[in-house]
Amino acid sequence: MKNKKTNAEQIWKQFEDLLVPRLRLSITDRVVYSNLVRHSRLEGKPRLRFSIPWLSRGIRLCGNSTRWAVRRLISRGLLRLVQCSKAGHVVEVLLPEEILAADTGRPDRSDRTGGPVSPTFLPAIYSEGEDFLKTAALRRSIHAREHGRCFYCLRQLTPQARCLDHVVPLSQFGGNSSRNLVSCCLKCNSQKGERSALDFLRRLYRERRLSDSELADRLRALDALASGKLRPAIAPIVNPRRMGRPPLHPEN
């Protein structure tokens, strides 16, 4: 990305006239994006390192609203996430003309909030597919996929001592797709925290909670999960009337 002199007037016209209506950006999204452009591209810097507290103080918004706005901007392709850590975020801030040029000729896709998403900017593991936290049936399908064992330590689980864990944490823009959710024990869920799944598996190995062969198996499972090969089996909803049987819960 070349550091060329930017035309602020042209940027704001393209942003307000083209991107805002096309991507259905909220007022919060517009404020966050404008602030990031101000501290990056208008100063000749294609990348910007920032923290959520710093950004929220600058635009006078709460941290949670600011964090979700940054996530939406990344999913819509206005920002490219380069690095995410406790020290802050490093993003490439794209200008409206760059976003429009990258999206030309591609069929639009939509995320859960209705805005088109460019395939180049949205990692599949983060938010592709249905929200598997939405219903109890979808949540159970994730547990069933792991065959009653913790995805990380392989411990046998009971319905009372299991939970769902985000492989890529929400703080690092992980989503609720089946690729990013696994069934695990409460201990692993608590200890993993904001770590990546890879780092946590290595920790389990160092603590001798996983053998050599088990670690290799978990790493293969992690690759299969990211590539979409580990799909939960979702039982189809069958209308009992179509099978000639009375409904289980007859209507009054």
Q: Do the domain assignments include residue 241?
A: no
DSSP letters, 104-172, are TTSPPEE-TTS-EE-GGG--HHHH-S--TTSSHHHHHHHHHHTTTB-TTT--B--GGG-EEEESS-GGG
Tell whether 169 is covered by a domain: yes
Number of structural domains the chain divides into:
2
pTM above 0.75, yes or no: no
- 4-48 pLDDT tens trace: 567 888 888 888 888 888 777 888 888 999 999 999 999 888 889
Residue 234 identity (one-letter amino acid): I
105 and 41 co-located in one domain: yes
DSSP state of 187: H
Given a cut of 50, is residue 242 above it in pLDDT?
Answer: no
Q: Please list the residues that pair with 49 across neighbouring strands.
A: 90
Q: Are residues 12 and 46 in the same domain?
A: yes
pLDDT of residue 217: 93
**CB count, 10 Å around CB of 48?**
21
Task: Evaluate whether residue 154 is within a structural domain.
Answer: yes
Nearest Cα to 6, choosing from 41, 38, 30, 35? 41
Summary mean pLDDT of the chain: 78
100 shares its domain with 144: no
In a domain, 246, yes or no: no
Give the closest residue to 209 by CA, choosing from 187, 229, 182: 187
109 and 12: one domain?
yes
Q: Are residues 101 and 13 in the same domain?
A: yes
201 and 109 fall within a common domain? no
The whole domain housing 94 covers: 8-115
Find, among 190, 170, 196, 166, the residue nearest to 180 by Cα: 166
Assess whether 42 and 79 both reside in one domain.
Answer: yes
For the domain that residue 62 is a member of, what is the CATH number? Answer: 1.10.10.10
- Binned at pLDDT 50, 70 and 90, residue 237 comes out as very low
Q: Which of 27, 102, 65, 24 is nearest to 92 (CA)?
A: 102
- For residue 142, being part of any structural domain is answered with yes
Please give the pLDDT value at position 117.
Answer: 35
3-state class (DSSP) for residue 144? helix
The pLDDT of residue 129 is above 70: no
* Domain match, 144 and 107 both: no
Pick from 53, 80, 115: which residue ends a domain? Answer: 115
Angle at 188 between CA 180 and CA 67, to 5 degrees: 50
Identify the helix (H) or strand (E) that includes residue 181: strand 181-184
Residue 222 has a pLDDT of 86
Does a structural domain hold residue 236? no
Residue 4: per-residue pLDDT: 56
